């Protein structure tokens, strides 16, 4: 979720660095709280990096509930073309607006005023296992770059 402006890092290098940061943070939390029950939910389910094609700043998004989240108007409008934000549709098992991609894109669009068709995404990863997660149909239909 932190922001970097390291132009020498690619999106993939940046998201992998962020995953390592998340793993370190979870490990430190578990060591500091040995009596607490720890679960895989200590990690975000999915993380993705996003940037505007003409800027070097990279932003991260994690999958989470879209409830009470105020998306930038252009992203909100695109998501609503699929259905109500926070609901499921029969074509995709994911809840509209809950993926990491719209959360990362929202940061880029709000801060850099980037056009939605100029967004570039890294692969989506499950931080706990570092497995690449394929983009869902909701994200493919919302963002031109996501194939």
Asked if the structure places residue 32 within a domain, the reply is: yes
Asked if the structure places residue 136 within a domain, the reply is: yes
Asked if the structure places residue 26 within a domain, the reply is: yes
* C-alpha to C-alpha distances, 92 to 97, 98, 143, nearest whole angstrom: 12, 12, 15
Domain that holds residue 51: 11-142
Asked if the structure places residue 2 within a domain, the reply is: no
Domain count, the chain: 1
Ranges of H-type helices in the chain: 11-32, 73-80, 100-112, 137-142
Query: pLDDT tens, position by position, for the chain (147 residues)?
Result: 445 555 445 899 999 999 999 999 999 988 888 888 877 678 999 999 999 998 989 999 999 988 778 999 999 999 999 999 999 999 999 999 999 999 999 999 999 999 999 999 999 999 999 999 999 999 999 998 776
Give CA 18 to chain center in angstroms: 12
Asked if the structure places residue 4 within a domain, the reply is: no
Asked if the structure places residue 5 within a domain, the reply is: no
Asked if the structure places residue 147 within a domain, the reply is: no
């Amino acid at each position: 979720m932190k922001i970097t402006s390291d132009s020498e890092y690619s999106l993939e290098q940046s998201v992998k660095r962020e995953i390592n940061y998340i793993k370190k943070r979870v490990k430190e939390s578990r060591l500091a709280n040995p009596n607490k029950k720890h679960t895989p939910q200590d990690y975000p389910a999915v993380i993705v990096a996003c940037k505007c094609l003409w800027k070097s700043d990279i932003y991260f998004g994690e999958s989470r509930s879209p409830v009470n989240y105020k998306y930038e108007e252009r992203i909100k409008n695109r998501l609503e073309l699929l259905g109500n934000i926070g609901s499921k549709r029969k074509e995709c098992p994911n809840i509209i607006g809950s993926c990491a991609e719209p959360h990362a894109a929202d940061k880029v669009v709000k801060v850099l005023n980037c056009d939605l068709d100029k967004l570039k995404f890294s692969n989506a990863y499950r931080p706990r296992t570092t497995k690449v997660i394929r983009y869902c149909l909701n994200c493919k239909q919302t963002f031109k770059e996501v194939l």
